Amino acid sequence: MLAVVPPPVTVRVPAKINLHLSVGDTRDDGFHELTTIFHALSLSDEVTIAATEEPGIEVHGEGAKSVPTGEDNLAWRAMKALASYAGKSEEDTRVRLVLRKGIPVAGGLAGGSADAAATLVGLSALWKLEISRDELARIAASIGSDVPFALYGGTALGTGRGEQLVPVLSRPVFHWVLAFDERGLSTPKVYGELDRLRADGDPPRVGSHAPVVEALASGDPRQLALLLGNDLQAAAVSLRPGLRRTLRAGVNAGALAGTVSGSGPTCAFLCEGAESALEVAAELAGAGVCRTVRVAHGPVPGAKVVGGEDANRPTPPPQVHA
Ligand SMILES: C[C@](O)(CO)[C@H](O)COP(=O)(O)OP(=O)(O)OC[C@H]1O[C@@H](n2ccc(N)nc2=O)[C@H](O)[C@@H]1O
Ligand SMILES: Nc1ncnc2c1ncn2[C@@H]1O[C@H](COP(=O)(O)OP(=O)(O)OP(=O)(O)O)[C@@H](O)[C@H]1O
């Protein structure tokens, strides 16, 4: 008898920026203790997962050539981790992953993590696993610190190495302009550069995240603009000094404030509204300080099935962790 082949599943997954990123001490496992506020943006990747006789990965779109297509692709690692959790045999795990990238590679926007999260959600649907988002988040954390947030999206406080999440109330909607750089930056190198800068002196640190939480609840972009902060920014700028010009150019173009996202080099500019974001984007695009610009808004939901049988299934709300 012929086996029934399930139809392919497509998942859309957002990029993140860090509205606040406080980097603490290095832990025994080599990771830094973080307090961060993640914010999911309308810039996204799509991952299509199909059962196939020709397993593998295909990558299209933004930066596709620099994305690995073997076992070190984070989406493939996510497939392996879920297969092992679900006790799937080698034969059951013959899947083809097609990544359509809108999120630049090594941009500080957690694109690889997003693909891993999308793969967890898509495969759960393809394999019809009864698995909660919280259980998926535990598997996600074993793949990378940013992966759990991509499952939930929205706005969330991240602690630990960034994988422990609590949702944060954020009024819709904030408007952003993103400036992509010519080349990416390696996340471990940026953390290493911060350690070096701290060993040489003590670069200023961002304060408490509490005022940022209040500004998000108020929905006032002017209030939020005063509070954007990232301890990794000094390290990213030290490795890529041109980012200073980019940050200045965004504010000169009319943004309320700019920040390096995560480990960079993408700069995110908060704008007064949708119209202002379009104006800032146009002016920044002509300033010759970055490869390209995009407008985006946030917060948006996390990884979500958009094609295939489960497309209309509602996304469960994030759970509050104690
Ligand atoms: C910069 C951020 O994007 C901010 O959200 C994240 O902290 C990075 O998260 P990620 O890319 O998922 O990082 P992982 O894949 O977990 O770790 C990559 C490397 O980043 C450094 N790393 C990451 C997270 C963390 N809390 N401390 C660290 O020092 C470590 O050198 C680690 O080996
Ligand atoms: N699916 C994937 N998409 C992009 N890069 C991937 C993927 N899988 C593995 N990688 C590797 O991971 C590296 C980091 O890519 P990624 O786009 O996730 O960086 P990032 O956005 O700076 O990450 P983060 O913000 O989480 O630190 C890339 O240089 C690439 O070699």
Predicted TM-score (pTM) of the model is 0.94
Distance of CA 84 to the CA centre of its chain: 25
223 and 255 fall within a common domain = yes
Nearest-CA residue for atom 4 of ligand 1: 262
Who lines ligand 2 at CB under 6 A?
67-68, 73-75, 99, 105-113, 115, 146, 184, 187, 262-263
* 3 state SS of 5: coil
CATH number, domain of 209, equals 3.30.70.890
Q: Is residue 236 part of a domain?
A: yes
Q: Is residue 310 part of a domain?
A: no
CATH number, domain of 28, equals 3.30.230.10
What is the extent of the structural domain holding 191? 174-298
Q: Which ligand is nearest to the CA of 15?
A: 2
pLDDT in tens, 253-307: 999 999 999 999 999 999 999 999 999 999 999 999 999 999 999 999 999 999 7
79 and 224 fall within a common domain = no
The residue from 127, 144, 169 where one domain ends is 169
Q: Is residue 307 part of a domain?
A: no
CB 47 within 8 A of CB 117: no
Q: Is residue 304 part of a domain?
A: no
107 and 150 fall within a common domain = yes
**Can you tell me the ipTM of this complex?**
0.97
What pLDDT does 93 receive?
87
DSSP string for residues in 15-73? EEEEEEEEEEEEPTTSPEEEEEEEEEEEEEEEEEEEE-SS-EEEEEETTGGGS--STTS
* 3 state SS of 226: coil
Nearest-CA residue for atom 15 of ligand 2: 106
The residue from 149, 169, 189 where one domain ends is 169
**How many angstroms separate the CA atoms of 217 and 224, rounded?**
10
* 3 state SS of 247: helix
What domain count does the chain have?
A: 2
Who lines ligand 1 at CB under 6 A?
18, 21, 31-32, 34, 36, 110, 113, 144-146, 161-162, 187-188, 191, 262-263
CB-count burial class (<10 Å; 0-12, 13-18, 19+) for 83: middle
Q: Is residue 322 part of a domain?
A: no
Cα 244 to ligand 1 centroid, rounded to whole Å: 23
Pairing of strands 155-159, 95-101: unpaired
Residues of the chain under the 50 pLDDT cut:
314-322
60 and 92 fall within a common domain = yes
Q: Is residue 319 part of a domain?
A: no
Residue ranges of the annotated binding site for ATP are 104-114
Q: Is residue 225 part of a domain?
A: yes
Its sign, for the CA torsion 240, 242, 244, 246, is negative
What atom in ligand 1 is closest to the CA of residue 187?
20
Residues in CB range of 62: below 8 A, 6 or more apart: 101, 102, 103, 104, 105
197 and 116 fall within a common domain = no
The alpha-carbon radius of gyration of the chain (Å, integer) is: 19
What pLDDT does 319 receive?
37
Cα 76 to ligand 2 centroid, rounded to whole Å: 13
CB 19 within 8 A of CB 212: yes
* Residue of 31, 34, 38, 41 to test ligand 1 pocket, by largest number of atoms within 8 Å of CB: 31
CB-count burial class (<10 Å; 0-12, 13-18, 19+) for 254: middle
Cα 21 to ligand 2 centroid, rounded to whole Å: 19
Residues in CB range of 309: below 8 A, 6 or more apart: 6, 7, 9, 125
144 and 18 fall within a common domain = yes
187 and 261 fall within a common domain = yes
What pLDDT does 285 receive?
96
**What are the backbone dihedrals phi and psi of residue 250, each rounded to the nearest 5 degrees, phi first?**
-65, -40
Nearest-CA residue for atom 29 of ligand 1: 31
What atom in ligand 2 is closest to the CA of residue 101?
3
Return the DSSP state at 100.
E
159 and 190 fall within a common domain = no
Q: Is residue 65 part of a domain?
A: yes
Q: Residue 167 is inside which H or E element, if any?
A: strand 164-167
Q: Which ligand is nearest to the CA of 233?
A: 1
Active site residues: 16, 146
Residues in CB range of 111: below 8 A, 6 or more apart: 15, 45, 63, 101, 103, 104, 105
* 3 state SS of 314: coil
pLDDT in tens, 117-132: 999 999 999 999 999 9
161 and 57 fall within a common domain = yes
144 and 196 fall within a common domain = no
What pLDDT does 312 receive?
56
Cα 184 to ligand 2 centroid, rounded to whole Å: 9
**How many angstroms separate the CA atoms of 17 and 109, rounded?**
6
153 and 226 fall within a common domain = no
Q: Which ligand is nearest to the CA of 29?
A: 1
Give residue 110's region: left, alpha or beta (phi > 0; psi -120 to 50): left
What pLDDT does 4 receive?
76
The residue to which tokens 């954007």 are assigned: 228
**How many angstroms separate the CA atoms of 221 and 283, rounded?**
20
* Residue of 187, 191, 196 to test ligand 1 pocket, by largest number of atoms within 8 Å of CB: 187
67 and 101 fall within a common domain = yes
